Structure 1
Amino acid sequence: MTPVAAVVIPAHNEEAVLGRTLDRLLAGAAPGEFDVVVVANACADGTAEVARRAGARVVETAVPGKAHALRLGDAECRAFPRVYLDADVELSAASVRSLAAALAGPGMMAAAPAPDWELAGAGPVARRVHRVHDRLIGPRRALAGVGAYALNERGHARVFPMPDVVADDELVHRNFAPAERAVVTEARSLVRPARTVRAHLRRRVRVRQGNRQLTELGFAAPDGRLGLGALAALVRRRSVSPLDAACYLAVLLADKALARRGTRVSWATDASSR
């Protein structure tokens, strides 16, 4: 059958988690319904073997870097729309179909699922930080930070070939006006965020670096910022507790201190969420 969508999964040393990602994706799919391409980039483990056993097509490269892997996988795809999925994020076949249906709507070019956060194993402070963060950004959910996004053919032409950027999902978000992109609530991604404060801060440093890079490349940041007023409103509505808010503020201050110091991190798998 002709695939109804393609799925590109860049994977760097993801042997431990890739199997469950592919199992979830393919469990409810008809044979040949999705064209799944896994790009094993600079792997020193059995990532490629796991992908082949699951029935995915595999591209191997010794060159590290997510954007490079996305370009390689994209070049192998046989269908539109195309879903770009992180190797440690689970997305069901039904969710891929929902993204494809949304991208068939008038004017739509980009879409993303809504996230479900798996906090099992996270420390108490990390749990509180993630809880507050989710409540803060929920009403203004973007295409970034949920582990997956999808492009139809017109949207793809705007993004690819993807430049060498750190924040590929934020690049996609910034490329489209609100009327051209959608968060599809019927589609759900299962995301395992950082389990420790240290790992969360490393991710935040990476996010800041990625956003700064995009701004320097001429991709304007979205309008509007979340301030203390939004956090105070959550506490007043009892959406989060005062202790939740205090933990969030403490970690936010540490995040800003690292940003002022210009701390840099290299690209790597976050083992805390595996």
Structure 2
Amino acid sequence: MTGLSVVIAAHDEERVLGRCLDALLPQGEPEVVVVANGCADRTAEVARERGVKVIELPAPGKVAALRAGDAACAAFPRLYLDADVVLAPGSVAAMLACLAGTGLSACAPEPELDLAGVSRVAAGFHRAHERLMAGRRGLAGTGAYLLTEAGHARVWPMPDVLSDDGWAHRSFAPAERATAGRSLVRPARTVAAVVRRRARVRQGNRQLDRLGRAETRLGGADLVTLVRRREVAVCDAACFVAVLVAERLAGPRAGGGWASDRSSRE
């Protein structure tokens, strides 16, 4: 596969990066740059073992890592892929075909949640949340997003944001982006981890709002509507509400940075 660059920002991802690359590399011959940032494990070695380009940065920071990887790439379109996400076979080709000659600027896969090992309440929350996000997710929360050269010019230079995919998502109108292929995403496994993750997401959304990229929020009425339509099970809705209560009780203590965001998926 020619004409495709892939940037992967990886912070202490030795346990999952191999799986990510092993799923990606057979899908053609992309130019892959892994940026190991602030790693204390074998992340860089895992990437080198698979023959991809590796950049090592001393401090953790996802946007800084994405910038370094982006600067080292030569080709377009350009795919930004999370190190713990697995792209299903054929997904890269599907995303490329989605953008080819269509006038679209960005594409992301449809996320499929890996709920193995996830607690019952956390799993219920995730199922309800996915239904709430159906048709609204766009480029955010999929673990990957693909930009054309024109789309890249809209997103970059990327500012110091907490949510790179949120920034990319809000850079395009719905008619300018599309969904193709599938990604296997590992969500937070415990209620405590979900709360930490959501605190970071809320913080990132507020930051994007301040930067002039506001977006309409979902409300409780949306969940009630889905339950009435039987699109969300009552037990899953109860799990969703339980997590919201846990968030309220946790308050500002639930915050976290790049490193804790990684561990929140365990």
TM over 0.5: yes
Is 1:159–2:155 an aligned residue pair? yes
Is 1:266–2:253 an aligned residue pair? no
**Which letter does structure 2 place at the counterpart of 1:172?**
A
**Which letter does structure 1 place at the counterpart of 2:71?**
A
Is 1:91–2:87 an aligned residue pair? yes
**Which letter does structure 2 place at the counterpart of 1:200?**
V
Structure 2: how far apart are the matches of 1:152 and 1:232?
A: 38
Could you list the structure 1 runs, at least 4 aligned residues long, displaced by more than 4 angstroms after superposition. 256-259
Match of 1:19 in 2: 18
Is 1:77–2:73 an aligned residue pair? yes
Scaled by the length of structure 2, the TM-score of the pair is: 0.93
Unaligned runs of 5+ in 2: none
1:184-237 deviation per Cα after TM superposition (whole angstroms, max 9, x unaligned): 2xx101001000000001000000111111122222x223x3222321222223
Q: Report if aligned partners of 2:195, 2:254 keep a CA contact under 8 Å in 1.
A: no
Structure 2: how far apart are the matches of 1:92 and 1:250?
A: 32
Q: Report if aligned partners of 1:111, 1:183 keep a CA contact under 8 Å in 2.
A: yes
Structure 1: how far apart are the matches of 2:255 and 2:114?
A: 27
Match of 1:137 in 2: 133
Is 1:100–2:96 an aligned residue pair? yes
After superposition, the CA RMSD in angstroms is: 1.7
**Which letter does structure 2 place at the counterpart of 1:217?**
L
Match of 1:9 in 2: 8
Structure 1: how far apart are the matches of 2:7 and 2:236?
A: 36
Select which of 218, 225, 231 maps to 1:226. 218
Match of 1:203 in 2: 197
Question: Which stretch has the larger CA shift, 263-272 or 231-240?
Answer: 263-272
* CA apart distance, 1:27: 2.8
SS in 2 for 1:175: coil
**Which letter does structure 1 place at the counterpart of 2:165?**
D
**Which letter does structure 1 place at the counterpart of 2:41?**
D
Structure 1: how far apart are the matches of 2:135 and 2:149?
A: 28
Select which of 111, 122, 125 maps to 1:126. 122
Structure 2: how far apart are the matches of 1:171 and 1:139?
A: 18
Question: Which stretch has the larger CA shift, 57-66 or 246-255?
Answer: 246-255
Structure 2: how far apart are the matches of 1:51 and 1:5?
A: 18
Structure 2: how far apart are the matches of 1:94 and 1:56?
A: 20
Q: Report if aligned partners of 1:107, 1:179 keep a CA contact under 8 Å in 2.
A: no
**Which letter does structure 2 place at the counterpart of 1:244?**
D
Structure 2: how far apart are the matches of 1:76 and 1:94?
A: 25
Structure 1: how far apart are the matches of 2:221 and 2:93?
A: 38
Is 1:54–2:50 an aligned residue pair? yes
SS in 2 for 1:154: helix
Structure 2: how far apart are the matches of 1:244 and 1:81?
A: 38
Structure 2: how far apart are the matches of 1:175 and 1:67?
A: 16
* CA apart distance, 1:63: 2.6
Match of 1:235 in 2: 227
Q: Report if aligned partners of 1:18, 1:47 keep a CA contact under 8 Å in 2.
A: yes
Select which of 158, 172, 175 maps to 2:168. 172
Structure 2: how far apart are the matches of 1:253 and 1:217?
A: 29
Q: Percent identity?
A: 58
Question: Which stretch has the larger CA shift, 191-200 or 225-234?
Answer: 225-234
Count of equivalent residues? 265
**Which letter does structure 1 place at the counterpart of 2:224?**
A
Q: Report if aligned partners of 2:27, 2:93 keep a CA contact under 8 Å in 1.
A: no
**Which letter does structure 2 place at the counterpart of 1:197?**
V
